[in-house]
A and B are shown apart, each in its own frame.
Chain A
Amino acid sequence: MPTLIDLLTRLSFLAAMPAVAGILITAGLLVVSRGWRLNVIALTLQYFFVVLLLTRLIQPEVAIVKGLIGWMICIVFYLTERRASALGQSSAVEGTGPSQRWRRWIMSARASFCLLAGILVLVAAYTAALRIPLPEVSTDVTLACYLLAGLGLLLVGLSEAPMQVGLGLLTFLSGFDLFYAALEPSLAVAGLLGAVSFLIALATAQLRVAQVTAGGEGKTL
């Protein structure tokens, strides 16, 4: 049975621009979408692409551990949102009539705005990757770092809902981690950054549960 490292080695052909494209699509989905299932899947895939790029910078074992932390975070988010939707369903009236069903497939004004803002971040990240290259990393990794950081910041700025902010912070941190892993390959730093990410996820989950149990889906103090 192949190990995770074997699998990563087989997929190493993706660890360049395809991974950057994957990061762009998944982070873009996080910015545009408000569906929690899609967001959790996008975050899971995003961590996969980040791990692929990390294998070029650090030992594959360490990259996999970082990936595992990311996927554990996705599990935390999945369980939290499952609980949140269960709590929400018990209090809210089922509201998916025919008129709302077809609206799901039409892009809302908010999603259009987010998409446009995401495209602007993409252009800014591309320009920055060409003009201000990050030290110790290649151009494609630089672009991935800028994309993750930029789209993460955009997510944080677009909403005050705990889950969106949490996803934004984790995306931002993934971008920084990708860059910093090349500068400081220390295991202690890798472990502490992993702990930071996991605690951010737990804090976000706690706030999300508070948000739902207090009775308002989008209500924040």
Chain B
Amino acid sequence: MNKAEILIIDDEEQIRRMLEITLKTNNYGVTEAATGNEGLVMASNHPPDLILLDLGLPDKNGMIILQELREWHTGPIIILSVQNSEEVIIRALDKGANDYLSKPFRTGELLARIRSALRSSIMEESEPIINSKDLQIDLLTRTVRKNDKLVKLTNTEYNLLSLFARNDGKVLTHQYLLRAVWGPGFISQSQYLRVFIAQIRKKIEDDPNRPEHLLTESGVGYRFISTPDSSPIVSRIG
């Protein structure tokens, strides 16, 4: 398989250098842009598999770059920014970013986010069965198994979990989830969401207090992480 190409749009040379070393030594191809406009041109000339986008660019606000990219670019975009307020994170996710990491970040965390964003962009609905360690979610038969045992979920719990599974690795904001599962009238009813998440965790996590599948992004939303590497159940074809 070809190396995945990653485009870095960041004006700080030190950060670009660090990212380049990190990514190249982890077998990714790397291209770099120091300004927003340069990044837009590079992304349109050679569409990368993934874009790492800084928000504080000298020529154009990163949010606007994100918006312009999203007009035609469907691949994953991960925001790397020193801004860490929930408002900014939620806005970036609403504008179509797949993920958000605030600087400073740990390298392991960055690589994990990149892996999961790339994986979900390849899957794109084509995979009806999601395997994650001891958990198996079958979107066709609407069944969930843990350790090969059927998990009993209510309709809402299943809808919520399958929504997460179809957006593997992606942060889904509270508002998005409430709107998608309960409808637009419920976007302020975040306590429903919290209760249902707690219920689902009780059913699918070994220790609901230290979840492995369904993670909290504090103040922003939740993220489902599948870890197929350790899945012993199904070997994929193709």
Is the pairing of A and B real?
no
Taking Cβ atoms with an 8 Å cutoff, the residues of A that contact B are none
Taking Cβ atoms with an 8 Å cutoff, the residues of B that contact A are none
